[in-house]
Structure 1
Amino acid sequence: MSDQAISRYPIPEIKDLPEDLQELILGVQEKAGFIPNVFLTLAHRPDELRAFFNYHDAIMLRESNLTKAEKEMIVVTTSSDNNCLYCVVSHGAILRIYSKNPLIADQLTTNHHKADITDRQKAMLDFALKVSNDAQSIGESDFDLLKSHAFTEEDIWDIAAITAFFGLSNRMANLTSMRPNDEFFTMGRG
């Protein structure tokens, strides 16, 4: 285990947080066996932590035509493009678990066009990167291309919402120097 700081900002004591956040954090610890550093780092501002996870759950847990693994593919690919170590490592672990593929996250962080994914998923990730880097140029041809891969208007919204939300997450993780938990590095690798 690393003795490095998990954030450049102070980490509050869990017992000093509002009761709902204590329950949230301790529930995650019970389920995962550890507390992901994102919870501890964002607890520096409890109202923002609450809002962050409410929106996270609204987009990542909602019923969708995108699989859980595809949602994580979006997070990993765009987080890599944004140079966000925390999100690449933590969501890479989640992706490996959901996809039951120990190689996929590493492939996506390097070059999603060379990854062992479908053409449909490559189109999804191309669009996610466009949302992340060049949203002002999105046009009807982007929608047409995605629809040719059987994405609906709602699916396209999901791709964009996940990309935009994790753009915020990536920037905050980089600002705070959020350190990935050591546990994430080995999860889902075999």
Structure 2
Amino acid sequence: MPTLSYAKDFQGVADVFLRDPGRYAPLLQFIESVMAGESDLTKAEREMIAAYVSKLNGCDFCLGAHKWTLVALDVDPETIETVEAGPEAEQVDERLRPLLRFAGNLTRSPESVGQGDIDALLAAGWSEQAVEDTINVASLFNYVNRLVDAFGIKGSESYFKQVGRALATQGYEPLIRSALKKAS
């Protein structure tokens, strides 16, 4: 149930962004950069981190949208289901586990993250850029999860499928264009 009177017809977080495009256009550009820009992480790896952080935060909207993005990216359905179980699930790629553990730690107790956590990721073969990208995905989704939940946005399975396909094929560019056009 929407928490603010003007959000009663909001179907998803895009409605929040488009309500005040001048405020949110820079955020959308950042989201596009983090989730679809140049990275040592694949789009699917970033989506797995986003979905896992959303699961930890109990944000059903973001979890639903990003699980369907993984479907649209042709990620194995069994692997997608491991988002619910976490990094120790059998189907999680061994190489991705340390990043998911790190994202979980950053989400649950950010104050405990230290040099040892970073060193462990580097020792697991991840580049410093991949670590930075993981930090950005986890931090971004901690913010977006709270935004969605505070607005009371729930979404629906059909909405998640539609959004998932769009994010997998087009990224956030169409939303950025709409926001910038509306802002001018």
Shared fold per TM-score greater than 0.5: yes
Deviation by residue 1:113-172 (Cα, 9 ceiling, x = unmatched): 114122221111000111112222222221221112211111111000110011110001
Q: Indicate if the aligned counterparts of 2:7 and 2:151 stay in contact, CA closer than 8 A.
A: no
CA gap 1:115/1:49 in 2 versus in 1, 3 angstroms: farther
2:154: which partner in 1? 179
1:41: which partner in 2? 16
Deviation by residue 1:82-120 (Cα, 9 ceiling, x = unmatched): 000110000010012224312333321233311412222
CA RMSD of aligned residues (A): 2.4
Of 87, 92, 97 in structure 1, the residue corresponding to residue 67 of structure 2 is 92
Look up the SS of the partner of 2:77 in the other structure.
coil
Q: Indicate if the aligned counterparts of 1:89 and 1:184 stay in contact, CA closer than 8 A.
A: no
**TM-score w.r.t. structure 2 length?**
0.78
Aligned: 1:155 with 2:117: no
Task: Tell me how far apart the structure 1 counterparts of residues 11 and 37 of structure 2 sit (CA, whole Å).
Answer: 22
Task: Tell me how far apart the structure 2 counterparts of residues 69 and 168 of structure 1 sit (CA, whole Å).
Answer: 20
Higher helix share: 2
Structure with max Cα Rg: 1
Of 141, 144, 147 in structure 2, the residue corresponding to residue 169 of structure 1 is 144
Look up the SS of the partner of 1:118 in the other structure.
coil
Q: CA deviation at 1:74?
A: 0.5
Task: Tell me how far apart the structure 2 counterparts of residues 41 and 115 of structure 1 sit (CA, whole Å).
Answer: 37
1:77: which partner in 2? 52
1:106: which partner in 2? 81
Task: Tell me how far apart the structure 1 counterparts of residues 66 and 90 of structure 2 sit (CA, whole Å).
Answer: 16
Q: CA deviation at 1:186?
A: 5.4
For 2:69, give the aligned amino acid: I
1:18: which partner in 2? none
Instruction: Using the aligned pairs only, state the percent identity.
Output: 22
Q: CA deviation at 1:45?
A: 2.4
Look up the SS of the partner of 2:19 in the other structure.
coil
Could you list the runs of 5+ residues in structure 2 that have no partner in the other structure?
A: 165-184
For 1:92, give the aligned amino acid: K
Q: CA deviation at 1:36?
A: 6.8
Q: Indicate if the aligned counterparts of 1:59 and 1:158 stay in contact, CA closer than 8 A.
A: yes
